[in-house]
Amino acid sequence: MTTPDLIPVPASITDPASFGFAACEGGVCAAAGIRATGVHAGFRADPNRLDMALVAADEPCVCAATFTQNRFCAAPVQVSRPRAASGHAQAVLLNSGNANASTGEPGVACALASAACVAKELGCADEDVLVASTGVIGVQQPLWPFEQAMPAAVESLAHSPAAAHAAARAVMTTDTVPKEVSLEGTVPCGPDGAPITVHVGGFVKGSGMIMPNMATMLCVLATDAPLTAQAAQKALSAAVSVTFNKVTVDSDTSTNDSCFLLATGATGGEPIDCDSTAFAQVANAIRCAAEQLARKIAADGEGATKLVTVDVVGAATDADADTVARAIANSPLVKTAIFGHDANWGRVAGAAGKCGVVFDQYQVDIDFLGVPVLRAGLPLPMDEGDMLRRFEEPEVTIAVNLGQGDASARIWTCDLTHDYVTINGDYRT
Amino acid sequence: MTTPDLIPVPASITDPASFGFAACEGGVCAAAGIRATGVHAGFRADPNRLDMALVAADEPCVCAATFTQNRFCAAPVQVSRPRAASGHAQAVLLNSGNANASTGEPGVACALASAACVAKELGCADEDVLVASTGVIGVQQPLWPFEQAMPAAVESLAHSPAAAHAAARAVMTTDTVPKEVSLEGTVPCGPDGAPITVHVGGFVKGSGMIMPNMATMLCVLATDAPLTAQAAQKALSAAVSVTFNKVTVDSDTSTNDSCFLLATGATGGEPIDCDSTAFAQVANAIRCAAEQLARKIAADGEGATKLVTVDVVGAATDADADTVARAIANSPLVKTAIFGHDANWGRVAGAAGKCGVVFDQYQVDIDFLGVPVLRAGLPLPMDEGDMLRRFEEPEVTIAVNLGQGDASARIWTCDLTHDYVTINGDYRT
């Protein structure tokens, strides 16, 4: 028989060239008007380990944010959510080592006081300081590291790649690498649509998806494009929904997940609102930055050896596509098979079939690592040697066509390994 | 502070004495009128490994069944589902080593032909033979082992504990132990409500929840109580919904999951219909038998070191309780924490909060291993030495009170261990 065509999957926008941007240097400090720092404040015992990050705009600016949907939400989320809703802020304070979660009223008081420390040193309003924490939960967060470290931390704020890098390192927990991105491109937001060069940069931490193992997703993005508050929130929400919200390491979400966007407008130019000509391009840059960071989270999943991309196409609805893609991406049997270099389409089919989404098993196609392995519900002969060679790559792709409609979804995950069990199970053994 | 009371959880019916029954001998052959056998037919290479089981009533009798809800369903399920719907059957044929799944029309033909082999030797109608398979998928099932082994297999059918045990062993795959149950009790189904002793027995296989690793749930129950077809189906469906359907090893379901009940009525007595006085007692016995088998599946989960029972109470609805209990039971972070003897209530809270069920975090209580660890959303001091001692037991209990209403759910699972990854990930490494 002739080899069937591969399942067509939607294009990613991982490549910034697709909308006229390019990678640049600087992380979160790629954006003009942004300074950053990362210091050791004392949340961690090891004096060589950075544990507090501060990102500050030169003056109050536009902000947008998204937060965990977990019913348990930590004190910093309770403080930052209403503040970010104002659409303006000047700084984001982050710490690792203590999540300030399940800490009740004293936890909220500490989060407020830590923000006040920043406001005092920076000379801004308390309400313009956003906060985020990651680390152990159920332990009251001490205020003294913030108080003690803040004057020097604010003093050390700098607009440099090194400063951005220090901030990215200071929020790491089980992350094995800091995760940064920076893009630049020219958009028509000058007078009469004249081109102006703008930047989008940021960092993220995230490895497992939950708390006591000090693993949460915290992200700070910054741009110097003159976005309005409404445009910033629209671009960030759209980006998060197809990037960070499509990553699953272990199906667990955190009490602390937070994603912030500061838009300084330091480039000057006309304000970019949702209907401005330049909006789509800047929104794409924000989405692309978020996608690059999201892929770094999945690739750095606890114990992971592979970044796994699951595409589901041909679904009746977007929700169906998302449900099936998540069922596959969260299946321990699929994830362990990938760890074992086993192109086990049967487990993919089983995961797709279990999640309540209606389809006809005899209309389903599956590709594994770019090879058609199932067509119309029946297996194709598989060259196992070829599959083993394809497993040498750091990325694994799975595509499923349900044959029911035109909707699709993409989810990123990683494999499930002995090291995941060791990281998460070897506390007390 | 005084120690708070434990969260009250609904009573289990694990103890048959609670409805006047007691454990007895015989497995599926505890029921009068039932014979069984387990043989090596040839689906497996090892001639010492049993791979075909047959359970037969002495004559056609009442049957009931439940099947996988997976959209991918195997050929034997496609054959057995309509047959069982008739409410009568005489035999159940099961094999391990090949699941006959994703095998298209030839697979259905093989399933039909295997049933015909049984019918020919047993002298019954083809339609009174139900079939079930477990093993590798996507590989055509050979007919010759059925044809070759059937005459001697039917010849070897016996009404004995040893024969029941052989059948239970013949369906094992990654199961480490055969799983059987048998109960007896006296119910008022004789003339004028006179007491008659009836039996419920059976076996199950199940370890992981999915296919290519030859892990599926197959169960055969038998009773000699004179249930009508309607009563048998009602009792079985009710039992399965609160037992087998409440077990999760890895959240994955199989293409082949099947549960059968044969009711021979060999005890004589008045037919037991849904509104008979004796119905509740027999239904309880069937539920109790299923619960004991379900707990054995969870305890024998792939790589498991602990049986874990998750109770969620105080939910607004049954569906909310089930969703939260499953989210906890399927959380890799909760499961690895238990493997690590870590009473990590934070991960339990995180799993509860992530699943979309609405509650107030400050109304949630959690008990871990029979110790109150969270009250009104805030942690209590924990004696870690005491917790470590409690982890020496083979069972782990987690109870969560959402404080929203009166609904509850109980889910059984196991921990997530290095051995799970080894069993499911070490195919080709």
Q: A337 and chain B: CB distance < 8 Å anywhere?
A: yes
Residue of higher predicted confidence among B231 and B174: B231
Rounded CA-CA distance A276/A274 in Å is 6
Is beta strand B52-67 parallel, antiparallel or unpaired with respect to B34-39? antiparallel
Instruction: Report the percentage of chain B scoring pLDDT > 70.
Output: 95
| B226, two tokens | 């004179």
In the predicted model, what is the mean pLDDT of chain B?
Answer: 91
Chain-centroid distance, C-alpha A231: 20
Rounded CA-CA distance B383/B377 in Å is 19
Q: B396 and chain A: CB distance < 8 Å anywhere?
A: no
Chain A residue with minimal CA distance to B358?
A: A71
Helix (H) or strand (E) run with residue B167 in it:
helix B161-170
Measured between beta carbons, the chain B residues lying within 8 angstroms of A100 are none
A1 pLDDT more than 70: no
A159 pLDDT more than 60: yes
Q: B336 and chain A: CB distance < 8 Å anywhere?
A: yes
Chain A residue with minimal CA distance to B253?
A: A354
For helices B104-122 and B144-156, angle between their N-to-C axes, nearest 10 degrees: 30
Nearest CB to A353 within list B72, B251, B337: B72
Long-range contacts of A111-118 (CB under 8 A, 24+ apart): A111/A75, A111/A76, A111/A78, A111/A79, A111/A141, A112/A79, A113/A143, A113/A146, A114/A141, A114/A143, A114/A146, A115/A79, A117/A146, A117/A147, A117/A150, A118/A54, A118/A56, A118/A91, A118/A93, A118/A150, A118/A154
What pLDDT shows up at residue A210?
A: 39
Q: Check CB contact under 8 Å for A211 and B350.
A: yes
> How distant is the Cα of B390 from the closest Cα of chain A, in angstroms?
13
> What is the rounded average pLDDT of the residues B399-417?
92
Mind telling me the catalytic residues of A?
216
> From the CB of residue A86, how many other CB atoms can be counted at a distance below 10 Å?
11
Tell me if residue B326 falls in helix, strand or coil: helix
A211 pLDDT more than 50: no
> From the CB of residue A24, how many other CB atoms can be counted at a distance below 10 Å?
18
Q: Check CB contact under 8 Å for A212 and B346.
A: yes
What pLDDT shows up at residue A253?
A: 63
Q: Check CB contact under 8 Å for A138 and B252.
A: no
Q: How far is CA A56 from CA A117, A119, A176, A178, A348, in A?
A: 13, 11, 26, 19, 45
Lowest mean pLDDT among B5-14, B117-126, B164-173, B416-425: B5-14
Q: Where are the extended beta strands (E) located within B28-101?
A: 34-39, 52-67, 88-98
The interface pTM score, or ipTM, of the predicted complex is 0.74
Rounded CA-CA distance A65/B179 in Å is 53
Highest average pLDDT, of A301-305, A330-334, B176-180, comes from: B176-180
Q: Check CB contact under 8 Å for A350 and B422.
A: no
> How distant is the Cα of B375 from the closest Cα of chain A, in angstroms?
11
A contact residues 69-88, partner B, Cβ 8 Å cutoff: 69-73
The model's pLDDT over B333-349, given as tens digits with 9 standing for 90+, comes to: 899 999 999 999 988 99
Chain A residue with minimal CA distance to B339?
A: A425
Contact predicate B34/B57, CB 8 Å: yes
Residue B141's φ and ψ, nearest 5 degrees, are -80, 130
| B357, two tokens | 């069920």
Rounded CA-CA distance B409/B327 in Å is 12
Residue of higher predicted confidence among B420 and A191: A191
Q: A208 and chain B: CB distance < 8 Å anywhere?
A: yes
What pLDDT shows up at residue A212?
A: 34
Q: Within A123-258, where are the H helices?
A: 144-156, 161-170, 229-242
Q: Check CB contact under 8 Å for A353 and B253.
A: yes
| B41, two tokens | 């037919």
Nearest CB to B378 within list A104, A336, A379: A104
Q: Which of A143, A132, A138, A214 is nearest to A172 (CA)?
A: A214
Cβ neighbours of residue B343 under 8 Å, at least 6 residues apart?
B337, B368, B369, B371, B373, B382, B387, B390, B391
pLDDT band at A70 (very low <50, low <70, confident <90, very high): confident
The full DSSP string for B206-234 is -SSS-TTTT---EEEEEE-S-B-HHHHHH
Measured between beta carbons, the chain A residues lying within 8 angstroms of B417 are 421, 425
Tell me if residue B124 falls in helix, strand or coil: coil
For B377-394, the three-class secondary structure string (H helix, E strand, C coil) is: CEECCCCHHHHHHHCCCC
Residue of higher predicted confidence among A212 and A162: A162
Residue A17: Cβ-neighbour burial (10 angstroms; 0-12, 13-18, 19+): exposed
The model's pLDDT over B340-390, given as tens digits with 9 standing for 90+, comes to: 999 999 889 988 988 889 999 999 999 999 999 999 999 999 898 999 999
What pLDDT shows up at residue A251?
A: 58
Q: A144 and chain B: CB distance < 8 Å anywhere?
A: no
Q: A330 and chain B: CB distance < 8 Å anywhere?
A: yes
Q: A366 and chain B: CB distance < 8 Å anywhere?
A: no
> What is the rounded average pLDDT of the residues A261-280?
95
Q: Which of A118, A333, A266 is nearest to B253 (CA)?
A: A333
Contact predicate B339/B417, CB 8 Å: yes
Lowest mean pLDDT among B203-207, B258-262, B277-281: B203-207
Q: Check CB contact under 8 Å for A347 and B211.
A: yes
Is beta strand A378-379 parallel, antiparallel or unpaired with respect to A371-375? antiparallel
A contact residues 217-276, partner B, Cβ 8 Å cutoff: 250-255
Q: Check CB contact under 8 Å for B378 and A254.
A: no
Residues β-bridged to residue A94: A53, A132
Contact predicate A245/A253, CB 8 Å: no
All domains of chain A in start order, with CATH: 16-299 (3.60.70.12), 307-425 (3.10.20.340)
Cβ neighbours of residue A247 under 8 Å, at least 6 residues apart?
A206, A217, A294, A297, A298, A411, A412, A413
Please count the residue pairs, one from chain A and one from chain B, whose beta carbons lie less than 8 angstroms apart: 218
Rounded CA-CA distance A254/A245 in Å is 12
> How distant is the Cα of A170 from the closest Cα of chain B, in angstroms?
23
Question: Angle at Cα B190 formed by Cα B186 and Cα B192, nearest 5°?
Answer: 120
Helix (H) or strand (E) run with residue B421 in it:
helix B418-425
Measured between beta carbons, the chain A residues lying within 8 angstroms of B306 are none
Cα dihedral B242, B244, B245, B247 sign: positive
Cβ neighbours of residue B57 under 8 Å, at least 6 residues apart?
B33, B34, B35, B89, B90, B91, B222, B262, B264
Q: What's the order of all strands across the beta sheet hosting B307-315?
A: B378-379, B371-375, B365-368, B395-401, B307-315, B407-414
Cα dihedral A223, A226, A232, A235 sign: negative
Instruction: Report the percentage of chain A scoring pLDDT > 70.
Output: 95
> What is the rounded average pLDDT of the residues B265-283?
95
pLDDT band at A429 (very low <50, low <70, confident <90, very high): very low
A230 pLDDT more than 60: yes
In the predicted model, what is the mean pLDDT of chain A?
Answer: 91
